[in-house]
Structure formats: C-alpha cells, structure tokens
C-alpha cells in the first residue's frame, strides 16, 4: 500500500538539528544556536530553553522554531500548544522552511489549531519550494489524495520526484506506485521497480514487498536495468550534502 506517513513525524526540526550537528554548519562559523542544540541533544531541555529564549526574543527564526517544538512536546517547559503554534507561525512568516513545515503539519493534523487542509497545503508548498524533502513528500500526498487542494496526480508525481531525489524513502515508494499504475506519469515498471528497490534499501518494508512482487513482471534484461537505476539513486543520495545551513 502507499505510504502516507511522514518521514520525520517529529516535524522538520529534527532535520534542522541533525544538520547542525553533522556538519551542515562550518566549524568556524559562530552559530548562536549551537549551545541550545547541544543542550537539547544532551537531554538538558531546561538549559536548552534558557539558551534559546533570548535568541527568539531577538528575532532568530531558528530559535523560534526550536521553542515551538519544545512547547509542543513539553520539553523544558510545560506543554503549551498555543505558544508552540505562535512560535512556529512567527518563524514561518519570516521564511524559515522548517517552521513552515511544522506549521503545515499542525494544520494538517489539527494540533494546536483547527484542522485546515488548505492552510496545510499553503505552508507545505512554501517549505517544499525551499527544498525540504519532507514537505515535498507531504505536499505530494495532499495532491494525490485531494486534501486541501484539487487532486492532481501529475503535480503529486513531480513533488514525489523532488523528494525522492533527496533520498526520501516514502516519496520513492509513492512515486513507484504511480509509475506502476501510470497515474500522473507514463507507466514504467522498470522505474517503479528501481524506486521500490531504493526505498527498500533504506529500510521501508512495504517497498520491499512490492519490489519482490513486481520482479515477476520484468524480464531479466529489464531487471538489470531497474537494479542499475536503483544503485544510481542510492549513490547520488549517499554523495549528497545537506542543502540547508540555516
């Protein structure tokens, strides 16, 4: 079955945190949020909050995004969804793509705000246009399902492709479904197999099952082609570098 789950359920901020701590920011760059992130990952949420709040008050959108997550999860502060949304919205309106994603997820799920699919699509789009793979994937899901926007398989496939190119395994899986069925794209079982295989190689079990089922529909030559395409996808992902430094 298609995967409609989010690649990063704890909302794009974990992507931001990972980038900060794995080289997305050069060591010689002075980053005012470093102490906040270090404390957060050490589990010292109170210290993380104390480091972050002055930065947020100075207008730092990354700090606002981090505070939004802390208030949403109740880490370092009592859980307060209203404050969480307020910080996400402020950062999102400043153009922060991670906060835009977080706000979109909140509207989609109705967390801290009334559920509003149209607003979810609006903010997913803003984040996706800045290259956030999870937003690209979720926007594809909304377009494929017709939630908050007219159903459009062609646009869904386009956004899935953008996320798949960044190694997003759920996007690879969903795009493979479209190639298998010929919805939004020209039917191509070789491409479908390659995408299922790439997603399976990253640990998506449902993709593994579909890949093995689809294998019986390919000739030996087609199978070699598909496997070659899959390896190229995985190599490109493994050689890629973080796109955002914040």
Segment-wise mean pLDDT, segments of 10 residues, the chain, 246 residues: 47 48 46 91 96 98 98 98 98 98 98 98 99 98 99 99 96 98 98 98 97 97 97 77 36
Q: Which of 35, 24, 36, 25 is nearest to 64 (CA)?
A: 36
174, two tokens: 């969903």
For position 17, what pLDDT does the model report? Answer: 52
Regarding whether 201 and 246 lie in a shared domain, the answer is yes
- Give dist(CA 49, CA 71) in Å, integer: 10
For position 31, what pLDDT does the model report? Answer: 80
For position 241, what pLDDT does the model report? Answer: 40
Regarding whether 160 and 100 lie in a shared domain, the answer is no
For position 235, what pLDDT does the model report? Answer: 85
Regarding whether 164 and 212 lie in a shared domain, the answer is yes
Distance set, CA 14 to CA 28, 155, 184, 206 (Å): 23, 27, 31, 24
For position 126, what pLDDT does the model report? Answer: 99
| Beta carbons within 10 angstroms of residue 204's beta carbon | 21
Q: Domain span at residue 209?
A: 152-246
Regarding whether 194 and 107 lie in a shared domain, the answer is no
Regarding whether 128 and 171 lie in a shared domain, the answer is no
For position 236, what pLDDT does the model report? Answer: 75
Regarding whether 158 and 119 lie in a shared domain, the answer is no
Largest Cα–Cα distance of the chain, in whole Å?
62
For position 23, what pLDDT does the model report? Answer: 44
181, two tokens: 């069925």
């Amino acid at each position: 079955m298609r995967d409609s789950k989010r690649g990063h359920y704890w909302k794009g901020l974990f992507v931001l945190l990972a980038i900060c701590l794995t080289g997305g920011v050069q060591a010689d760059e002075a980053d005012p949020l470093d102490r906040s992130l270090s404390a957060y990952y050490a589990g010292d949420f109170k210290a993380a909050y104390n480091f972050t709040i002055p930065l947020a008050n100075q207008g730092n959108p990354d700090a606002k995004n981090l505070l939004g997550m802390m208030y949403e999860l109740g880490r370092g502060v009592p859980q307060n969804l209203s404050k969480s949304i307020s910080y996400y919205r402020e950062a999102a309106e400043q153009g922060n793509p991670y906060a835009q994603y977080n706000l979109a997820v909140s509207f989609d799920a109705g967390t801290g705000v009334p559920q509003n699919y149209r607003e979810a699509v609006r903010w997913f789009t803003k984040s996706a246009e800045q290259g956030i793979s999870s937003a690209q994937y979720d926007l594809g899901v909304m377009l494929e399902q017709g939630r908050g926007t007219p159903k459009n398989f062609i646009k869904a496939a386009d956004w899935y492709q953008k996320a798949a190119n960044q190694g997003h395994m759920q996007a690879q899986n969903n795009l493979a479904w479209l190639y298998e069925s010929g919805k939004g794209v020209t039917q191509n079982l070789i491409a479908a197999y390659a995408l299922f295989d790439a997603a399976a190689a990253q640990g998506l079990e449902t993709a593994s099952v579909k890949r093995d089922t689809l294998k019986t529909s390919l000739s030996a030559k087609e199978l070699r082609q598909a496997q070659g395409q899959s390896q190229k996808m995985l190599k490109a992902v493994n050689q890629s570098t973080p796109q955002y430094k914040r």
